[in-house]
Chains A and B, each alone.
Chain A
Amino acid sequence: MNPVAGGDETWTQRTLQRLRDALFPTLGQSLVSLVLIWLVAAVAYAFIDWALLRAVFTGSDGSACRVPDAGACWPFITHKMGLFLYGRYPEAELWRVHLTYALALAGLVPLFMPGVPHKLALLVYMLAVFPLIAFVLLYGGMLGLDIIVTDLWGGLLLTLVIASVGIAASFPLGILLALARRSELPFVRWSATVYIELVRGVPLVTVLFMASVMLPLFLPPDVTIDKLVRALVGVALFSAAYLAEVIRGGLQAIPRGQYEAADALGLGYWRKTGLIILPQAIRLVIPGIVNSFIALFKDTSLVLIIGLFDLIGIVEQSVQADAKWSSPQTAATGYFFAGAVFWLFCFAMSRASSIL
């Protein structure tokens, strides 16, 4: 008896057996599997062929990509990387963007690392302190920093700014709306319900149109309001309504006993809510909250419609308007790059929610 050879053989057999169970249990299933294997192979080959084999890797304009049968036009991405990442933010001041990113990571990474103490302090830093620092760093006008007008912000920087301001502003607003909708005061409950249902019933595009066209009309005639701020107001107000519904779900899942126990301890409404109910409710709906944030992150791309150039907007603009780089594959390459960046962020967020 040879244990090694015997084990080897059974391992092969077992693998084959498992493969057969997984892919070829019956005739019909086998056919399905074969078609799918062919599909995977065809798609994978087409992709490798486009992204590597036929791709153009060097060149200082689109001429190399204009040859027939060329694949991806990678120099378009490498030459425009600065534009895609920062918009027209002045190159000499980019350290301010990098410092902001570093400060954000310094807060976010320990927040998501299990076993790190002082999570609450970190959360307060991220929600209250960091936005102020980020504003001063990015916009300037204080501490000897030059003002960089928001017209120059763009690309991934703008995407991240809109998404993070939207998240930071809509989170407290969403909590307030959810509490209001569960309030015992009829008028409070009624106003919150109307607001939430109205906002959830209309598309973000119309909310952005409203923020961009109607918001200036609502304000006194001598007040002008930055285009980016208008978009931020629209995104935050829109997202808060969705977040409120998620949080309301968490509030409803808290057993009555918790409310009654807090009452019995003599806690008032705000202490009962803040110390007993909300911490439990929010923990329950973390996946839903993260999903809302992912949706908000993807939705930031809609600011293209009111004339702001986030990552997708600036890729689209470069694809459509830059004759120097125009080629049959420029658009596909640019979209692939933007899609890959968005995918990475959204996928990372959905993974992070399972850690929290």
Chain B
Amino acid sequence: MGDAFKRWLMRKPWIDAAYDPNVRAVAFQLLLVLALVLVAVEIVLNTAANLQKQNIASGFGFLARTAGFDISQSLVPYTSKSSYGQAFLVGLTNTLLVAVLGIVLATVLGFTLGIARGSPNWLASRLALAYVEVVRNVPLLLQLLVWYVAVLRALPAPQEALALPAGVFVDKRGLHLPRVTLESGGTLLLLALLVSVIGAVWLWRTGKRTREEETVERDPVRLAVWALVVLLPVLALMIAGKTVAYPVLERFNHEGGLSIEPEFLALLIGLSTYTAAFIAEIVRAGLAGVPKGQREAAAALGLSRRHALRFVILPQALRIIIPPLTNQYLNLTKNSSLAVAIGYPDLVSVFSGTVLNQTGQAVEVILITMAVYLAISLATALTMNWFNARTAWAER
């Protein structure tokens, strides 16, 4: 019988099949699917059993329940009587706010430093290098703690607040700005803003066309655009009826004005200075990636160093810079979750922190949080891909 089995085993088709790449591929993938399904089933069963044992509800019904806790900063209306769903919205908008502002600041600082790295001024390039090497090699969490605990919380108490020009105060409770409230003419202002934006875009487009056709001096067009963008809203703001409330020192704090929390400031400063170091390296590499001949050609045309950088080098370098720059924007957004360490009410801190602790619904809360970050990542990646496609080399 053993012999018969051996002979059956040694039949040619069997061996052929065992060594056939296609058969192997199918078998290997079936094994992988089987393993993944088994793991998934095991996880689901265990989770269900564990949740039942701990008496934790499941499902997303908790989002409608009353949250019952306060949040120190919110862009959307929120009180402790609001629902968990609204708390989620507050966290989300706070995350988006710090991410968007952080990206703008990090880009400005990062490009400045990156360009300084290639400066002929020895001191400027060395200082930029020193900045990059120091900031890149220290954990962001520590930098946030430094900004929050050692810098902003070490500022004087409200009674001895530092007074800055234009009625601005800084103390350990944050930055206190005058608050401008519109009383009438809100529509006028909105209209002015709309007109200025549309006008600016239109002027920019036509200006670009004439520039490309006749190589005229571009400055008058640019000036007109800027004048329109800046002057029109300012004019409208001056006409519109408004009240300005200045921050005044009450018993414990500056009241009346617009107060920016130190948690938000620390996170914003920390995120943008940290990311700027990485952006600076990307910009330096991008500038170095433009062929040397382009610089020489620009110099031969009589362009100054600034004009050469602005019109010849940077536009070409951008094509190298944008893909890694996208990654840094995503990193900044994801790093904003470190807010939880200094108590800024971002998505993770409000939702994966407080809400999770109150409801105990870990699976739902963490899945929602992760889904939100994934969606932000995908949206940023899509936007930057679109921008990248617009600035990419025209294939010849």
Contact = CB atoms under 8 A, between A and B. Distances in A.
Given A214-B362, A216-B50, A220-B46, A294 B352 contact: no
A350 B136 CA distance: 11
A201 B331 CA distance: 9
Interface in A76-100: none
Contact of A203 (B36, B120, B121, B373): B373
Given A214-B47, A221-B46, 13 more contacts: A25-B120, A202-B334, A202-B370, A203-B334, A203-B348, A204-B334, A205-B338, A210-B366, A210-B370, A216-B50, A217-B47, A302-B141, A342-B138
13 contacts: A23-B123, A186-B29, A187-B29, A187-B32, A188-B28, A203-B348, A213-B362, A217-B46, A220-B46, A221-B50, A305-B340, A316-B145, A319-B149
Interface in A15-45: 22-23, 25, 29, 32-33, 36-37, 39-40
Contacts of B25: 184-185
B374 A198 contact: yes
B374 A201 contact: yes
B127 A36 contact: yes
A5 interface: no
A214 B150 CA distance: 34
Interface size of A as a range: 35 or more
Interface string A38-55: 011000000000000000
Contacts of B260: none
Given A188-B29, A319-B149, A342-B138, A40 B352 contact: no
Given A219-B46, A339-B138, A302 B120 contact: no
Contacts of B373: 201-203, 206
A328 interface: yes
Contacts of B374: 198, 201-202
Most buried by B among A188, A217, A312: A217
Contacts of A342: 137-139, 142
Nearest to B375: A201
A221 B56 CA distance: 14
Contact of A214 (B136, B140, B366): B366
Contacts of A187: 29, 32-33
A61 to B, nearest CB: 20
Most buried by B among A22, A205, A210, A305: A205
Contact of A299 (B124, B139, B356): B139
B307 to A, nearest CB: 14
Contacts of A32: 121, 124
B369 interface: yes
Contacts of B51: 217
Given A203-B337, A205-B338, A343 B138 contact: yes
B154 interface: yes
B100 interface: no
A187 B378 CA distance: 22
A200 B127 CA distance: 33
Contacts of B150: 331-332, 335
A18 to B, nearest CB: 9
Contact of A37 (B123, B348, B378): B123
A130 interface: no
A96 to B, nearest CB: 27
Contacts of B49: 220-221
Contacts of B123: 22-23, 33, 36-37, 40
Interface size of B as a range: 35 or more
Contacts of B120: 22, 25, 29
A290 to B, nearest CB: 12
A231 to B, nearest CB: 14
A185 B29 contact: yes
Contacts of A33: 121, 123-124
B393 interface: no
B32 A206 contact: no
Interface string A304-338: 11000000100010010000000010011001001
Interface of A: 22-23, 25, 29, 32-33, 36-37, 39-40, 184-188, 191, 198, 200-206, 209-210, 213-214, 216-221, 294, 298-299, 301-302, 304-305, 312, 316, 319, 328, 331-332, 335, 338-339, 342-343, 346-347, 350
Contact of A205 (B46, B340, B362): B340
Interface string B351-389: 010001000001100100110011001100000000000
A22 B127 CA distance: 14
Contact of B363 (A191, A214, A335): A214
B119 to A, nearest CB: 9
B176 to A, nearest CB: 22
Contact of A338 (B122, B142, B362, B369): B142
Contacts of B356: 209, 213
Contacts of B12: none
A213 B360 CA distance: 10
A206 B53 contact: no
Most buried by A among B29, B140, B145, B154: B145
Contacts of B335: 203
Contacts of B340: 205, 305
Nearest to A180: B32
B130 to A, nearest CB: 9
A339 B356 CA distance: 32
A338 to B, nearest CB: 6
A179 to B, nearest CB: 13
Contacts of A188: 28-29, 32
Contacts of B369: 202, 206, 209
Contacts of A191: 32, 36
B28 A185 contact: yes
A317 B334 CA distance: 25
A298 B46 contact: no
B121 A22 contact: yes
Contacts of A221: 46, 49-50, 53
A218 B136 CA distance: 36
A304 B341 contact: yes
Contacts of B377: 200-202
A217 B50 CA distance: 6
B366 to A, nearest CB: 5
B146 interface: yes
Given A187-B32, A342-B138, A29 B337 contact: no
Contacts of B33: 187
Given A188-B29, A217-B362, A346-B137, A301 B348 contact: no
